[in-house]
């Protein structure tokens, strides 16, 4: 019995040691900057199935440089995990990867991406280019973008409010009709970071300034957080909004229980759908989100394209990215995939404006939009923001406590990485 146990333990350790030795010698080599050849393109799940036909167009013209499309999971967190695991191991499975706008700094700082200085970004929205830029260098080229709207009920208000004061005034109308006034994405998750940074930006402040310093100890940041906190205190934002992600808010708005809703463009199609479960389908207006003194600054969403350092065919990868950024490809991203393109000229196309009613508003929103803070530890950064702001919304912490706490915590995270 004893011998058995010793032998067994010995076996365990031998195998373990062997595996460990085998594992530590992994790690990828550098790719080739001017290489050409077939590449792999990884992007989140394409629910329309139309992205493949766009890639087929490229493949037809480039038989020796074919692009293979790999679909990553639909949720952004899982996409990030898949990409991080691949890049960390230096496996080089993917040449071109679609990165959420908030991952640029993290991936670039870990030295996983190729600088894309030679990609032409003329004609793209400056805010989208900023979202792919880290430390003054473009690491991820804009692919599609997104911005928030203020949805409102045209049967109750004639004109959308452009400032927070006007919004508060209009809340009297909501009260008179015994419905709730305003909601956004205010549950504790990434959406709260989006809504909070939107509020701070719309008051003229910022979370992080251009030098990387956290700027939450400013009057502007205070005004931004107060807009949300006072909204709850005054009842303009219903208490149940602390449980709202995108879909909960959309349901509340569609069922007629909400006068104003901050949400992404996708809501427009669903809420105006005939025969859908929307009771307000022909009473919906859209406007850029309001701010403290005039139009607000939406937070930017969307995806950028980056090239892995391990890629052997980086020249092909660059050409492919340029192709996806061309006007034709961007048009098909809008019309076939239903994603807002990054090329601003498309938004002025009268034909497109006719078929997509929110296009003009979206352009206005995108021109004012601000990217989320570029932080290497974005995940930790954003979690800290959403956790602390959530407590403030619930009234468990004062505005001052929250902001001074966040100022020092976020500065630590920004410096620690």
Partner 1 sequence: MTTNITDTQPSTNGSPGRSSKPAMSPATPARRARGDGRFALWLVLPTLLVLAAVIGYPVLRAVVRSLYDDRLGRDPSFIGLDNYASILFGGGAEKFWAALGNTLFFSFTTVVFELLIGMTLALVMNRAFKGRGIVRAVVLVPWAIPTAVAAVLWKWTFDANGIVNHLLGSQILWTGSEWPAKWAIVFADTWKTAPFIALLVLAGLQTISQEVYEAARVDGAGPIRRFFSITLPLARPAIVVAVLFRLLDVLRIYDLPQIFTNGANNTRTLSMLVVEESIGNLHVGVGSALSTLTFLIVFIIAFIYIRLLGARVMSSANGAS
Q: In angstroms, rounded to a whole number, what is the distance separating the alpha carbons of residues 263 and 8?
A: 59
Of 37-45, 135-143, 336-344, 387-395, which part binds partner 1 (CB under 8 A)?
Answer: 387-395
> Considering the rule CB under 8 A, would residue 8 count as an interface residue with partner 1?
yes
CB of 314 to partner 1, least distance (A): 21
Taking CB under 8 A as the criterion, the residue among 91, 242, 352, 360 binding partner 1 is: 242
Half-sphere exposure of 359 (CA within 13 A, CB side): 22
Taking CB under 8 A as the criterion, the residue among 111, 118, 120, 274 binding partner 1 is: 111
Q: In angstroms, rounded to a whole number, what is the distance separating the alpha carbons of residues 69 and 82?
A: 15
Taking CB under 8 A as the criterion, the residue among 59, 93, 177, 377 binding partner 1 is: 377
User: Would you say 36 and 313 are in contact if contact means Cβ atoms under 8 Å apart?
Assistant: yes
Strands (E) across 218-310 are located at: 258-263, 284-288, 290-291, 294-295, 301-307
> Considering the rule CB under 8 A, would residue 270 count as an interface residue with partner 1?
no
User: Would you say 221 and 203 are in contact if contact means Cβ atoms under 8 Å apart?
Assistant: yes
**What's 180's DSSP letter?**
E
> Which of residues 74 and 240 has its CB atom nearest to partner 1 in the complex?
240
Rg for the chain, CA atoms, rounded:
24
| SS3 label, residue 268 | helix
Q: Three-state secondary structure along 362-416?
A: HHHHHHHCECCCCCCCHHHHHHHHHHHHHHHHCCCCCHHHHHHHHHHHHHHHHHH
CB of 240 to partner 1, least distance (A): 4
Bridge-based pairing state of the strands 180-183 and 258-263: parallel
> Which of residues 244 and 347 has its CB atom nearest to partner 1 in the complex?
244
> Considering the rule CB under 8 A, would residue 379 count as an interface residue with partner 1?
yes
Taking CB under 8 A as the criterion, the residue among 187, 228, 307, 369 binding partner 1 is: 187
CB of 79 to partner 1, least distance (A): 12
> Which of residues 56 and 77 has its CB atom nearest to partner 1 in the complex?
77
Buried (b) or exposed (e) across 237-265, using 16+ Cβ within 10 A?
bbeebbebebebbbebbbebbbbbbbbbb
CB of 86 to partner 1, least distance (A): 13
**Percentages (nearest 5) of helix, strand, coil residues in the chain:** 50, 15, 35
> Which of residues 9 and 48 has its CB atom nearest to partner 1 in the complex?
9
> Considering the rule CB under 8 A, would residue 243 count as an interface residue with partner 1?
yes
> Considering the rule CB under 8 A, would residue 380 count as an interface residue with partner 1?
yes
Taking CB under 8 A as the criterion, the residue among 33, 76, 91, 109 binding partner 1 is: 109
Taking CB under 8 A as the criterion, the residue among 66, 220, 246, 248 binding partner 1 is: 248
Using CB under 8 A, list all residues that contact partner 1.
1, 3-4, 7-8, 11-13, 15-16, 19-20, 23, 77, 81, 84, 106, 109-111, 187-189, 239-240, 242-243, 248, 252, 376-377, 379-380, 383, 387, 390, 394, 417
């Amino acid at each position: 019995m004893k011998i058995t146990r010793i032998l067994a333990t010995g076996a365990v350790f031998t195998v373990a040691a062997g595996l460990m030795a085998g594992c530590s010698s992994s790690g990828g080599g550098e790719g080739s900057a001017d290489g050409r050849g077939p590449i792999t393109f990884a992007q989140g799940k394409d629910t329309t199935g139309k992205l493949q036909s766009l890639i087929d167009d490229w493949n037809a013209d480039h038989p020796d440089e074919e692009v293979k499309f790999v679909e990553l999971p639909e949720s952004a967190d899982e996409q990030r995990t898949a990409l991080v695991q691949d890049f960390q191991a230096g496996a080089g499975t993917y040449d071109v990867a679609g990165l959420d706008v908030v991952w640029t700094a993290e991936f670039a700082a870990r030295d996983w991406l190729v600088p894309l200085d030679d990609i032409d970004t003329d004609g793209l929205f400056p805010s989208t280019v900023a979202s792919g830029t880290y430390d003054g260098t473009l690491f991820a080229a804009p692919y599609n973008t997104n911005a928030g709207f203020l949805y409102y009920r045209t049967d109750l208000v004639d004109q959308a409010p452009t400032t927070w004061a006007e919004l508060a005034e209009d809340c009297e109308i909501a009260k008179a009709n015994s419905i709730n006034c305003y909601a956004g994405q205010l549950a504790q998750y990434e959406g709260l970071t989006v809504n909070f940074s939107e509020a701070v930006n719309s008051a003229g402040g910022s979370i992080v300034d251009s030098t990387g310093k956290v700027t939450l100890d400013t009057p502007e940041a205070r005004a931004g957080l107060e807009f949300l906190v006072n909204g709850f205190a005054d009842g303009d934002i219903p208490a149940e909004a602390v449980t709202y992600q995108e879909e909960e808010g959309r349901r509340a708005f569609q069922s007629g229980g909400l006068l104003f809703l901050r949400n992404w463009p996708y809501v427009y199609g669903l809420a105006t759908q005939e025969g859908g479960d929307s009771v307000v389908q022909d009473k919906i207006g859209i406007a850029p989100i309001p701010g403290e003194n005039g139009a607000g600054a939406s937070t930017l969403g969307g995806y950028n394209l980056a090239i892995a350092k391990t890629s052997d065919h980086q020249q092909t990868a660059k050409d492919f990215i340029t192709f996806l950024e061309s006007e034709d490809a961007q048009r098909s991203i809008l019309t076939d995939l239903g994603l807002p393109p990054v090329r601003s000229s498309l938004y002025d196309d009268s034909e497109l404006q006719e078929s997509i009613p929110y296009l003009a508003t979206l352009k206005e929103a995108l021109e004012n939009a601000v990217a989320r803070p570029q932080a290497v530890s974005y995940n930790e950064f954003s979690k800290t923001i959403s956790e602390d702001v959530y407590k403030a919304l619930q009234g468990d912490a004062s505005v001052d406590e929250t902001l001074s706490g966040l100022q020092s915590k976020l500065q630590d995270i920004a410096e620690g990485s």
